[in-house]
Amino acid sequence: MCMQALDWDDFINGKADTAAVGGSAVANPPSAMTIGAFDGVHRGHQALIRRVTDHGLCPTVITFRKNPKQALAPQTYAGDISTLHEKLVIFERMGVRRTILIDFSEDFRRLKGREFIELLIYKGNLRFLVVGYNFRCGSRLDTDVQGVKSITAEHGVACEVVEPVMFLGERVSSSRIRAAVGEGDWAKAAALLGREAFDPRHAFQSPHCF
């Protein structure tokens, strides 16, 4: 079964299709989730995704159709490393069964962090949440990692915080990869991304279901 890609509005309105769990199709199955823009789906992102794909629940990624930085900081937005299609292909290859795609609308931007996390719990049957060490969410980024852990604990949901992934003595980040690309160092960019090769002139070529 192909990975399901679902719009945020359909997700919160209960219009999700069944998802594959243990070889069977299950309606709104208990889920393990992680959240982020996942630009490039680099080694750090992969560490988050592996935690949800290894947990035994329906592995789900919450991400954005467009990078929120386009709206929040357009003056410093340097463009994306990967397209949405490329990200979806990588998610599926890693074993993700469901991806929720958020349009960074005014309505979404007004959501408080608590409201956002509780929507994931109530609408997504969330049982296990994985976030990065510097994760923040909600209107004006009102909820940090400790706030997320407090909210999930109130609802009996396990929450794991993943520390930064280091490579060649530095923290792996999308900005570090962009710097390597800017220098024309494709080998370094590929190493930080965790790929065998990387060339921004070509999209990934892979069978897909999106």
- Report field, pTM of the whole predicted structure over 0.75: yes
C-alpha distances in Å from residue 127, one per residue of 8, 158, 174, 209:
19, 6, 29, 27
Domains and CATH numbers, the chain: 4-165 (3.40.50.620)
Predicted local distance difference test score (pLDDT) of residue 121: 97
Check whether 84 has a pLDDT greater than 90.
yes
Task: Return the higher-pLDDT residue of 160 and 183.
Answer: 160
Task: Return the higher-pLDDT residue of 118 and 82.
Answer: 118
Tokens of 101: 């795609």
Q: What is the mean pLDDT of residues 186-207?
A: 66
Angle, helices 174-182 vs 186-193, to 10°: value is 160
Predicted local distance difference test score (pLDDT) of residue 26: 61
Q: Give the rounded distance of the alpha carbon of 19 from its chain centre.
A: 18
Check whether 200 has a pLDDT greater than 60.
no
pLDDT tens figures, 96-130: 999 999 998 889 999 999 999 999 999 999 999 99
pLDDT tens figures, 24-73: 556 789 999 999 999 999 999 999 999 999 999 999 999 999 888 877 77
DSSP string, 32-46: EEEES--TT--HHHH
